């Protein structure tokens, strides 16, 4: 069984991107706003991401792009805005099939069940579903009703990603996310009865979080019985959301909490896919990893095989034909821009080297491999002995092994994909 050692975590800890895109948005050149030359109907499967920013209350750990409001007149505005964006792609993308639809936020179930069904129907009217369609939605168990779940099942959604974060009442109250444990367990039962895949999010480093409390949360995982678990360190961003005043564990304690949570998942028959994402050992995602068929896009690990991602809504990111485009992150600016055309704020066209590095990182995150040929292309004229020195420590620590014409990432190594990717990042 894999066991993470805190000293090994500390050795390879380094601040850096989570690589949902490469390069990270802060390094985008913002050189292109005209999408038409990159978007085309290639007859392939398309992923669509819709960002619904609204939440009725603020969770103090949150660093997402959200708008706190109880004004549900925003529901009709969202429907109108997404339809308006869709119509702008009628000539270029109409005819592609829909391989994946992902609703994120914010709180997508801020929408009533009726409006949620209308929103999904708009996408289905525009893009016919593929035979292997994957529908995923992020949900808050405090505000998501059985009516929402029934609509999602009716629309063919197969995966819920549930924001659990922790089950300790003191910790949840301190971040304004409290839910009675019995209510959470009832919700999980309703979800399991309707959907094939239940994923949950957990956060370590929260205020008042202790090993004892986290051990109780880990024990609750047996009742929750999630198919996949995403484990994130607390991203403390007071400059974005006014999170000042939170008393959180120090860096050493945070490392101990993270290692404990990972090791508990290993003990409960989960394996790490990478970047803090875990799957049951007999789960579909881990099987896809072993078969070399696991995919990863802007939304995370998936089984959906798609050729491009179309982002709709405030702050959403699109990726196609070697280019990224992002809508404005400020709701008021997004709405103003949308009235006059596409609500784009920034973009990036991948350079040939960006593409080389992005491809090599894809092999790390989904293929368990670092190929010598990729390293040669990326490091160009760097002598081979210097390249080997970069990875010597990873080999000594059993994160990598040399197999054939490259390195194979070990099961332990799946917990260190970020530092491996950082070795390739040409923008840092």
pLDDT in tens, 100-151: 999 999 999 999 999 999 999 999 999 999 999 999 999 999 999 999 999 9
pLDDT in tens, 12-28: 988 888 899 999 998 88
Cβ neighbours, 10 Å, residue 60: 18
The number of CA neighbours under 13 Å toward the Cβ of 407 is 26
Cβ neighbours, 10 Å, residue 332: 10
Residue-range domain boundaries for the chain:
1-20+351-428, 24-310
Q: How far apart, in whole angstroms, are the C-alpha atoms of residue 153 and residue 150? A: 5
The single-letter DSSP state of residue 139 is E
Q: How far apart, in whole angstroms, are the C-alpha atoms of residue 344 and residue 329? A: 9
Model pLDDT, residue 160 = 97
pLDDT in tens, 355-412: 999 999 999 999 999 999 999 999 988 888 999 999 999 999 999 999 999 999 999 9
Which one of 3.40.50.300, 3.80.30.20, 3.40.50.800, 3.30.70.260 gives the CATH number of domain 24-310? 3.80.30.20
| 251-267 and 211-224 helices, crossing angle to 10° | 30
Q: Evaluate whether 273 touches 245 at the Cβ level (below 8 Å).
A: no
Give 97's strand partners. Answer: 45
Does this chain's domain 1-20+351-428 share its CATH topology with 24-310? no
Phi, psi at 35, each rounded to 5°: -80, -25
64: pLDDT strictly greater than 50: yes
Q: How far apart, in whole angstroms, are the C-alpha atoms of residue 313 and residue 334? A: 8
User: Mean pLDDT, to the nearest integer, of 239-251?
Assistant: 56
227: pLDDT strictly greater than 50: yes
> Higher-confidence residue: 175 or 136?
136
CA neighbor of 14 nearest in space, from 383, 421, 426, 393: 421
Q: How far apart, in whole angstroms, are the C-alpha atoms of residue 422 and residue 426? A: 9
Which one of 2.30.40.10, 3.40.50.1000, 1.10.10.920, 3.10.180.10 gives the CATH number of domain 1-20+351-428? 1.10.10.920
Q: How far apart, in whole angstroms, are the C-alpha atoms of residue 7 and residue 1? A: 18
> Higher-confidence residue: 146 or 247?
146
Bridge-based pairing state of the strands 67-68 and 97-105 = unpaired
End-to-end CA distance of the chain: 34
Alpha helices in 88-224 (DSSP H): 113-126, 146-154, 169-174, 181-194, 211-224
Percentage with pLDDT > 70 across the chain: 94
Residues whose CB is less than 8 angstroms from the CB of residue 321 and which lie 6 or more positions away in sequence, other chains included: 38, 39, 40, 308
Model pLDDT, residue 61 = 83
**DSSP E strands: which ranges in 44-158?**
45-52, 54-55, 67-68, 97-105, 129-139
pTM for this entry: 0.94
What are the angstrom distances between the C-alpha of 138 and each of 29, 99, 145, 161, 413?
A: 30, 18, 13, 5, 28
Model pLDDT, residue 35 = 66
DSSP, collapsed to helix, strand or coil, labels residue 372 as helix
Per residue, what are the HEC states of 275-327? CCEEEECCCHHHHHHHHCCCEEECCEEECCCCCEEEEECCCCEEEECCEEEEE
How does residue 237 score in pLDDT terms, banded at 50, 70 and 90?
low
Residues whose CB is less than 8 angstroms from the CB of residue 357 and which lie 6 or more positions away in sequence, other chains included: 22, 378, 424, 425, 426
59: pLDDT strictly greater than 60: yes
Model pLDDT, residue 242 = 47
């Amino acid at each position: 069984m894999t066991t993470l050692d805190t000293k090994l975590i500390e050795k390879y800890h380094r601040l850096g991107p989570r690589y949902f895109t490469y390069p990270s948005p802060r390094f985008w050149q913002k050189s292109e706003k005209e999408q038409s030359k990159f978007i085309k109907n290639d007859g392939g499967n398309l992923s669509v991401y819709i960002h619904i920013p609204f939440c009725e209350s603020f969770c103090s750990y949150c660093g997402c792009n959200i708008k706190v409001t109880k004004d549900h007149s925003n529901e009709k505005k969202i429907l109108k805005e997404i339809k308006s964006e869709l119509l702008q792609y009628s000539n270029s993308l109409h005819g592609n099939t829909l391989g994946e639809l992902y609703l994120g936020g914010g709180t997508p179930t801020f929408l009533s069940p009726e409006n949620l069904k209308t929103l999904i129907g708009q996408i289905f009217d525009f893009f016919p579903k593929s035979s292997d369609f994957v529908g995923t939605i992020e949900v808050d168990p405090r505000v998501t009703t059985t009516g929402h779940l029934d609509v999602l099942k009716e629309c063919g959604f197969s995966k819920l990603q549930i924001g659990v974060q922790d089950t300790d009442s003191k910790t949840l109250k301190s971040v304004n996310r409290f839910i009675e444990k019995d209510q959470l367990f009832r919700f999980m039962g309703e979800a399991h009865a309707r959907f094939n895949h239940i994923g949950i999010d957990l956060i370590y480093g929260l205020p008042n979080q202790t090993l004892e409390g986290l051990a109780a949360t880990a024990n609750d995982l047996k009742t929750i019985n999630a198919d996949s678990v995403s484990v994130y360190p607390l991203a403390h961003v007071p400059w974005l959301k006014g999170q000042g005043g939170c008393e959180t564990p120090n860096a050493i304690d945070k490392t101990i909490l993270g290692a404990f949570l990972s090791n508990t998942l290993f003990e409960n028959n989960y394996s790490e896919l990478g970047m803090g994402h875990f799957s049951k050992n007999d789960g579909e995602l881990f099987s896809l990893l072993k078969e070399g068929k696991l995919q990863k896009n802007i939304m995370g690990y998936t089984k959906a095989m798609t050729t491009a991602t179309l982002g709709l809504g405030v702050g959403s990111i699109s990726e196609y034909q070697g280019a990224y485009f992002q809508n404005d992150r400020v709701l008021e600016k997004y709405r103003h821009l949308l009235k006059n055309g596409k609500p784009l704020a920034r973009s990036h066209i991948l350079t040939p080297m960006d593409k080389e590095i992005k491809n090599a990182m894809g092999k790390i995150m989904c293929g368990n491999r670092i190929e010598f040929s990729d390293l040669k292309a990326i490091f160009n004229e760097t002598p081979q002995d210097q390249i080997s020195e970069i990875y010597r420590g990873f080999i000594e620590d059993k994160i990598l092994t040399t197999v054939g014409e490259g390195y194979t990432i070990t099961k332990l190594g799946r917990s260190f994909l970020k530092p491996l990717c950082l070795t390739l990042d040409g923008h840092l």
